[in-house]
Amino acid sequence: MTDPRDWLAQDPDPDTRAELEALLAAGDSAALADRFGARLEFGTAGLRGELGAGPNRMNRVTVLRAAAGLAARLRAEPPRGGVVIGYDARHKSERFALDTAAVLAGAGLRARVLPRPLPTPVLAFCVRHLDAAAGVMVTASHNPPRDNGYKVYWGDGAQIVPPLDAEISAAIDAVGRVDELPLGDAWETLGDDVVEAYLDAVTALPLGDARDVAVAYTPLHGVGRDVLLRAFERAGFPAPFVVAEQADPDPDFPTVAFPNPEEPGALDLAVDLARARGADLVIANDPDADRCAVAVPDGPGWRTLTGDEVGGLLAEHVLRATSGADRLLVTTIVSSTLVSALAREHGVRFAPSLTGFKWIVRSGTGRLVLGYEEALGYCLGGDDGPPVHDKDGVGAALAVAALAAAARRAGRTLLDLLDDQARRHGLHATAPLSVRVADRALITAAVDRLRAAPPDALAGRAVTRVDDLTAGADGLPPTDGVRLFLDGGARVVVRPSGTEPKLKCYLEVVLPVGHAPVADVRARARADLDALKTALAAALGL
């Protein structure tokens, strides 16, 4: 266990110093053990955790150490355009970004900081645009307000993967006291020209020429609003109606329980605004604007589309707007299998990937025109591939608006397009089952039980095959998880979340439509998914 007093002696932050001094004075051994009995692990997701004092929290000492480890690893790289650093509007984000710049400058590396809080995809774009050796984004994405994080990108503009993460982690472990690190002040603050370059790139995506669409938009108190509004204007779309209560960046996210557009209730204010203004669709970004959620009118109410439904629609959109047999569609092994059917139909390439865009953008061979994951992340490309080698909630919002405008011009809706796909390929219906726990050990135990003794059947469907993903599957690297195939084209994947204390399960059923009304088939699919959820929860024992 790290000595709290040694930590206190090198901590430059008065807030966490005061927190730690109070805990020491109170003799709160449980709180001290929680902060100092473990440390945040640096991995392929970088760092992410609760703000506070100690090595098991996000704070200035943790960030200074991470920056010093990154600097040490970068000194082994050929000289390039330095490191680009971005940050969102969360608590301490700007401070962590500037600390990173100071450490890199002190190590003799060129550090360039984005001009203000900006979306994560802007940072990812800038790494390649500026020919940087690496990038750092200070963000916790859609995590609760008390969290922050630290994502590292390499020179290809994508998040790091093994073994690079382990190499940086080892370099972090070798860092001594942070109050002895050489710090510099010769970093560069970039201008708005980098944002302009990003806007030029995303508005050059395949967007067609239909523009008549009314959008209600929420950035969920994050940093997406200004960039998205500029992108819509530049692409020729009408200005979206913005949810006033969620328009400005606010690190406390006061109007939502979790600032995640996947969470129930997160889109309620946007749907209310859409009803009031007669909008055609709702678009939401998460706080760092790398994800995009969509809701559409459905009879008297509104329906939030799943990430898989949006992914299927965007796949057909880009395939109809591009050409060439070298085109590539990529989605993860936990996402819908519909995209592989669309690739076969259009005569283009398809590749599966592990979860996470660090894998999606590196999977398969060919020209990536769409990479997506069911968790509302989309990466679109045109003739030259994707301008952002990561998920991009702004580019995805433009493409969804273009698709909705084209459907509207033809007298149709996004729901009509989904029905078309179901008639051609069968209804691919997916649903998540997530279990949030206080003790991560419960997650490990549940997955181990499933791996060791999988059920013979779930919800009346026989289990026909079990894949232990730690052994690798589909030619992919090993990952922690279990995949079950069931009779009738159903599938279940169970894995621990890489960023939150959650067990995440992904369910899919595929039902033929034939001449039946698609609405009736959807109702049967919902019932099947509900039954699978119940059976799986029982099998997991959580």
At residue 475 the predicted structure's pLDDT band, cuts being 50, 70 and 90, is confident
Q: Please check the confidence at residue 45 and state whether its pLDDT lies above 90.
A: no
Structure tokens at 181: 């690190």
- Looking at domain 307-391, which of 3.40.630.10, 3.40.120.10, 3.40.50.2300, 3.40.50.300 is its CATH number? 3.40.120.10
Instruction: Note the pTM of the prediction, 2 decimals.
Output: 0.95
Is residue 461 within 8 A of residue 529, CB to CB? The reply is: no
Measured distance CA(381)–CA(371) in Å, rounded: 9
Q: What percentage of the chain reaches a pLDDT higher than 90?
A: 88
Find tokens 């959807």 and name the residue. Answer: 522
What pLDDT is stored for residue 81 in this prediction? 87
- Which segments of the chain belong to CATH 3.30.310.50? 427-540
CATH of 210-303, one of 3.40.50.300, 3.40.120.10, 3.30.70.20, 3.40.140.10: 3.40.120.10
d(CA 317, CA 307): 15
- Residue from 29, 93, 141, 335 carrying the catalytic annotation: 141
Lowest mean pLDDT among 58-67, 69-78, 298-307, 498-507: 498-507
pLDDT above 80 (res 44): no
Q: Please write the tens of the pLDDT for every residue from 210-241.
A: 999 999 999 999 999 999 999 999 999 999 99
- DSSP state string for 245-273: GGSS--TT-TT-SSS-TTSTTTTHHHHHH
Residue 479 half-sphere exposure, CB side, CA atoms within 13 Å?
Answer: 25
Q: What is the DSSP string of 168-179?
A: HHHHHHT---GG
- Can you give the pLDDT at residue 78? 77
pLDDT at res. 444 = 84
Question: Sheet harboring 377-380: ordered strands across?
Answer: 349-353, 327-332, 367-373, 377-380
User: Above 80 in pLDDT, residue 501?
Assistant: no
CB atoms within 10 A of CB 180: 8
What 3 state SS string does 101-117 have? HHHHHHCCCCEEECCCC
Whether the pLDDT of residue 139 is over 90: the answer is yes
Which residues, other chains included, contact 344 with Cβ-Cβ below 8 Å and sequence gap of 6+?
350
CATH 3.30.70.260 holds for 4-193: no
Place of tokens 């790139």: 201
Q: Give residue 214's pLDDT.
A: 98
d(CA 254, CA 222): 12
**Mind listing the pLDDT tens digit for each residue in 77-107?**
877 889 999 999 999 999 999 999 999 999 9
Q: 409-444, pLDDT tens digit by residue? A: 999 999 999 999 999 999 999 999 988 877 778 888
The CATH number of domain 427-540 is 3.30.590.10: no
Q: What three-state secondary structure class fits 128?
A: helix
**pLDDT of 541 above 90:** no
Q: Given the DSSP bridges, would you call strands 147-154 and 47-50 parallel, antiparallel or unpaired?
A: antiparallel
Which residues belong to CATH 3.40.120.10 in the chain?
Answer: 4-193, 210-303, 307-391
Mean pLDDT confidence for 272-288: 98
Residue 93 known to be catalytic: no
Residue 499 confidence (pLDDT): 67
